[in-house]
Amino acid sequence: MRILVLYAHPVETSFNAALHRLIVERLTAAGHSVDDCDLYAEDFDPRLTRAERLAYHDPRGPQDAVDPYVRRLLDAEALVLSFPVWNYGFPAILKGFFDRVFLPGVSFRMVDGKATPNLHNIRKVAAVTTYGGSWFRAVLMGNPPKKLVSRTLRLTVKPGAPVSYLAHYSMNLSTPATREKFTAKVAAKMDAF
């Protein structure tokens, strides 16, 4: 399976970086073709420009600045997100990826004024993330990243595609044992992906 891994963390020595390496290693070892998109390493610009917003509903093509990312997304059969939760949301660089790449004609089509899901090439989705705060605090805030993955993204990809959300909560209080347990969970999920 062709898998696009979207990774969004700026620090190569972080726990998130270790999880990212594990994801890529396990998926590759399982025989998948992995397109490892490290948004920071690739210096992805998350800012939606004025010109992009004005042309948002216009047909896009190779001249578009994000066309290489659109091609990578459309070539993928599965999507794995690897990111930390900051301020109860995606890191700005990942949010910007969704704003700039999940375009009309890419992730959805406009039909009679209604958005119709279009990423039916994506047959499987997984998110691997960490939260500084507790599960309770995330739930109290409505857990926006989980909802965006398990509801919004689920509706954008192939109908019925399995979507999993693996989260290590309370990173601020984590221990080697909690991190090891979560790492084993991620490894098992990637091995079975």
Phi–psi pair at 75, nearest 5 degrees = -80, -15
**Residues 108-121: tens digit of each pLDDT:** 988 888 889 999 99
**Residues 147-170: tens digit of each pLDDT:** 999 999 999 999 999 999 999 999
Structural domain span for residue 187: 2-191
Residues 6+ apart with CB under 8 A from 161: 122, 123, 124, 125, 154
Q: Which tokens go with 5?
A: 């891994």
For residue 150, the model assigns a pLDDT of: 95
pTM: 0.94
**Residues 9-67: tens digit of each pLDDT:** 999 999 999 999 999 999 999 999 999 999 999 999 999 999 999 988 888 788 889 99
Question: Average pLDDT, stretch 179-191?
Answer: 98
For residue 96, the model assigns a pLDDT of: 97
For residue 93, the model assigns a pLDDT of: 98
Residue among 54, 67, 25, 14 at smallest CA distance from 187: 25
For residue 115, the model assigns a pLDDT of: 86
The number of distinct structural domains making up the chain is 1
For residue 139, the model assigns a pLDDT of: 92
For residue 182, the model assigns a pLDDT of: 98
C-alpha–C-alpha distance, residues 112 and 165, integer Å: 33
**Residues 85-103: tens digit of each pLDDT:** 999 999 999 999 999 999 9
For residue 57, the model assigns a pLDDT of: 86
C-alpha–C-alpha distance, residues 152 and 189, integer Å: 22
> Can you give the CATH number for the domain in which 40 is found?
3.40.50.360
